[in-house]
Amino acid sequence: MILSEIRDFFKWQSVVSLSDLSLHFAVEPDAMRGMLDQWIRKGKVQKLDQEEKCSNCCGCNSDNPEIYTWTELNNDKRT
């Protein structure tokens, strides 16, 4: 999988759970975390803090999901 595919998915869905990313790309969660870490180091993706139970806004059906967001949706054209 290419990192640009992950970027494009975030531009389509601005807030995404780790489980949704793993399912969409058919990749184990630990492998997806590694790819997300590359975007996090570049300052493009942010892991959101989840102190409460999920309100199911992302459709993940989990009590404590890992949620990520793309931080520069409007300004990023080529990264």
Structure tokens at 37: 């870490």
Picking from 35, 62, 36, the residue whose alpha carbon sits closest to that of residue 50 is 62
Which CATH code fits 3-70? 1.10.10
Q: Where is 26: in which H helix or E strand? A: none
Of residues 53 and 7, more confidently modeled: 7
Per residue in 5-49, pLDDT (tens digit) is 999 999 899 899 999 999 999 999 999 999 999 999 999 999 998
- How far apart CA 15 and CA 19 sit, in angstroms, is 12
Residue type at 60? C
Record the pTM. 0.73
| Per-domain residue ranges of the chain | 3-70
Question: pLDDT at position 31, please?
Answer: 95
